[in-house]
Amino acid sequence: MEAAFETLRASGFAGTSARSIARSGGFNQSLIFYHFGSINELLVAALDMSSERRMTRYREVLAGIDGLPQLFDAAASLYREDAECGHTTVLAELFAAGLAVPALAAQLKVRMEPWISFTEELMRRFLGRLPISGPSDLRAVAQATLAMYLGIDLLVHADGDWSRVDTMFEVARRTGAALHPLLDGS
């Protein structure tokens, strides 16, 4: 799975084959089919491995945070970690491949569910205290947040312009600072 992750990260979906993964990992390519059945199953398993690590890291970092400005600062840092470890690259590559491979897209949809739930949980924790009248659909907001995360990542991969990410998180931090007094009831 590590070899598949690194190959996908370095070569993209189009450059990832059983041969390139086996070469990266130093093993016989037949082992991929023996253990996973197909390359796509191996790539999804590699994403699962990375997602589990990242979810653990997100939970650790965000557990003790109680203010929106700190939440957005931590989110910016976590996003950078995601990019540096290759998680966002692998995710973007698999989502792009899912456009041509419907079975892969269906698997990715399932894999996003824990992230949607986690984001919704965070929003409920922070925004659930806002004195807003009327119903709000935090699940839809969580989905939109993840779509924005993936979209901004695709833009960064397209042109390497990290200023988009920095601007997005700076605006979020300022918005969080403005909303923070409402959360404290002041």
* pLDDT at residue 49 is higher than 70: yes
In a domain, 16, yes or no: no
In a domain, 138, yes or no: yes
For 15, the enclosing helix (H) or strand (E) is none
104 and 85 in contact (C-beta within 8 Å)?
Answer: no
Quick one: pLDDT at residue 133? 45
Q: What is the pLDDT of residues 122-165, one digit of tens each?
A: 888 877 766 554 446 788 888 998 988 888 888 887 888 888 88
Give 118-130 as a DSSP string: HHHHHHHHHHTTS
In a domain, 142, yes or no: yes
Q: What is the pLDDT of residues 52-78, one digit of tens each?
A: 999 999 999 999 898 888 888 999 999
Quick one: pLDDT at residue 55? 98
C-alpha to C-alpha distance for 53 and 75, rounded to whole angstroms: 16
In a domain, 24, yes or no: no
Quick one: pLDDT at residue 148? 86
Q: How many domains does the chain have?
A: 1
* pLDDT at residue 17 is higher than 90: yes
In a domain, 28, yes or no: no
Mean per-residue pLDDT over the chain, rounded: 89
C-alpha to C-alpha distance for 181 and 69, rounded to whole angstroms: 11
In a domain, 59, yes or no: yes
Quick one: pLDDT at residue 135? 45
Quick one: pLDDT at residue 91? 94
Quick one: pLDDT at residue 182? 67
47 and 89 in contact (C-beta within 8 Å)?
Answer: no
Quick one: pLDDT at residue 186? 47
In a domain, 27, yes or no: no
What is the percentage of the chain residues whose pLDDT exceeds 70?
92
For 92, the domain range is 48-184
9 and 89 in contact (C-beta within 8 Å)?
Answer: yes
* pLDDT at residue 16 is higher than 50: yes
In a domain, 12, yes or no: no
